[in-house]
Amino acid sequence: MRRIAATGPMHEIIASELKPGAGAESDMALEADIRARTSTVFHPCGTCSMGPGPATSVLDARLRVHGTGGLRVADAAIFPVIPSGNLNAPSMMVGEKAAAMILEDLARG
Shortest distance in whole angstroms from residue 33 CB to ligand FAD: 22
Min. distance of Cβ 44 from ligand FAD in angstroms? Answer: 7
99 lies in the binding site for ligand FAD (CB under 6 A): no
- Contact status: 91 vs ligand FAD (CB under 6 A): yes
What's the burial of 61, exposed, middle or buried (CB within 10 Å: 0-12/13-18/19+)? exposed
- CA dist 79 and 87 (Å) reads 10
Query: What is the footprint of ligand FAD within residues 37-66 (CB under 6 A)?
Result: 41-43
| Region for 29 from its dihedrals, namely left if φ exceeds 0, alpha if ψ lies in -120 to 50, beta otherwise | alpha
- Least Å distance, CB 92 to ligand FAD, is 8
| Torsion angle defined by CA atoms of residues 19, 23, 26 and 28, in that order, rounded to the nearest 10 degrees | -70
**72 sits near ligand FAD (criterion: CB under 6 A):** no
Assess 88 for contact with ligand FAD (CB under 6 A): yes
Residues forming the site for ligand FAD (CB under 6 A): 41-43, 75-76, 86-89, 91
